[in-house]
Structure 1
Amino acid sequence: MIDWIYFFDLCGTAVFALSGALAAGRHKMDPFGVLVLASVTAIGGGSIRDALLGTTPVFWIQDHNYITVILVTVFLTFIFVRKPKRVPRYILPVADALGLALFTVIGVEKALNLELSGMTAVVMGLITGVGGGIIRDLLCQQVPMVLRTEIYATASIMGGICYTISLHWGAADMFALLFAMSTALVIRLAAIRWHLSLPAFDLKTPQ
């Protein structure tokens, strides 16, 4: 029987590695830079999560399939995406949104397997979903998306809540998995499509 959680985890790794590789291409990095950015985007959030949960060695050290997926993704990106400037601008945010949805559920699932509270599980899902993107954006000298007014972390939180509640109410694992990922993905894609955002905290200094 297929381990769907593991399968989606590897899919999320590939998607986030692609996101990091495309971001590196936009900033004209050399091949090593592309590999580094793809790697930190793909495994950064999960590494922070495992360190906080004390599940060491972290997942990608125990299972080399994650590194293999990153290397293959970077290699295929070099072959099929020769001119990053010609890649449609929506590809990077859409890939990032898909990775966010996948990794959010993975983080929640891992915390719940350790019998932690639902609230803690949602936070772990958030860290898993946004951690790699934060590192990627900082290395690209950009303000991380999670710190802007864009609806990003909110999508991850809602996905994590949906997954936790679905399991609590006795829903089948696959239903809870797909429901949570769909929720996070739809919210994030809607925010991208219609430029939805949270109100900014604008603290004006008295003159």
Structure 2
Amino acid sequence: MTWEFLSIIGTIAFATSGAIIAMEEEYDLLGVYILGIVTAFGGGAIRNLLIGVPVSALWEQSIYISIAILVITIVFLFPSNLLKHWGKWGNFTDAIGLSAFAIQGALYAVKMALPLSAVVVAAVLTGCGGGIIRDLLAGRRPLVFREEVYAVWAILVGFALGSNLVSETWQLYILFAIITAFRVLSYTYNWKLPNKKLNVSR
């Protein structure tokens, strides 16, 4: 149930995120569906490639694909005047997707008995991969590559599960709430990672 819950939450959150950004960039109907689906499943596909799971395993999750299509349809048909509030709630939806998919990806690697490093990578790719692909296809600088704190939360998820600090179902739900809350706090209070700018003269 934990796996299914996280998969459904992550799918809804990222499908919504992809569809909204596609409409912001004035994509047509097909573009909205493609970007929504890629955002929801892109991270899982990349994760599968790197940890040795056939990418075709994604097609076995027909229920989640159906959920994504339904969510994208609802978002597309939603009144435009209400979608204007996306700027206020978009980051929150993205935070939910990041948290849910990071935990789901880490669980996937733990079940395969992979080492800690692989669990961390699986958490990061599943939690951030779809968003990276979404931003690139939308012609935006990927959120994960900016100086604000984003991928760090997925890394913490990987360490928590890969080190067996979190294993019980109730602990997973608490971790989901904590990671979502920290992501919300990080963009609300503009937490940033150190960065260094180079002025290269030519």
Hey, what does 2:64 align to over in structure 1? 66
Q: What do residues 47-73 of structure 1 show as CA deviations (whole Å, max 9, x unaligned)?
A: 111111221144321121121011100
Distance apart, 1:83 and its partner CA: 4.2
How far apart, in 2, do the equivalents of 1:182 and 1:110 lie? 19
Hey, what does 2:99 align to over in structure 1? 101
Query: Is 1:130 the counterpart of 2:128 in the alignment?
Result: yes
Distance apart, 1:184 and its partner CA: 1.9
- Give the TM-score of the pair, scaled to structure 1: 0.90
Distance apart, 1:175 and its partner CA: 2.5
Query: Is 1:111 the counterpart of 2:109 in the alignment?
Result: yes
**Identity of matched residues, %:** 30
Hey, what does 1:174 align to over in structure 2? 169
Contact kept, 8 Å, 1:163 with 1:176, in 2: the verdict is no
Q: What do residues 136-194 of structure 1 show as CA deviations (whole Å, max 9, x unaligned)?
A: 000111110111101001111122223334xx25x552123123222321221111110
How far apart, in 2, do the equivalents of 1:81 and 1:21 lie? 14
Hey, what does 1:14 align to over in structure 2? 12
SS state at 2:198 partner: coil
Hey, what does 1:160 align to over in structure 2? 158
How far apart, in 2, do the equivalents of 1:29 and 1:8 lie? 29
Higher RCO, Cα 8 Å, sep 6+? 2
Which of residues 32, 50, 53 is equivalent to 1:52? 50
5+ residue gaps, structure 2: none
Contact kept, 8 Å, 1:19 with 1:92, in 2: the verdict is yes
Hey, what does 2:199 align to over in structure 1? 204
User: What pairs with 1:28-47 in structure 2 (closer than 5 Å)?
Assistant: 28-47=26-45
Contact kept, 8 Å, 2:11 with 2:68, in 1: the verdict is yes
How far apart, in 2, do the equivalents of 1:102 and 1:85 lie? 23
Q: What is the number of residues matched between the two proteins? A: 202
CA RMSD of aligned residues (A): 1.8
How far apart, in 2, do the equivalents of 1:164 and 1:185 lie? 19
Contact kept, 8 Å, 1:162 with 1:176, in 2: the verdict is no
- Give the TM-score of the pair, scaled to structure 2: 0.92
Q: What do residues 73-126 of structure 1 show as CA deviations (whole Å, max 9, x unaligned)?
A: 011112324347622412211111110000000000000111001221011100
Which of residues 163, 182, 195 is equivalent to 2:190? 195
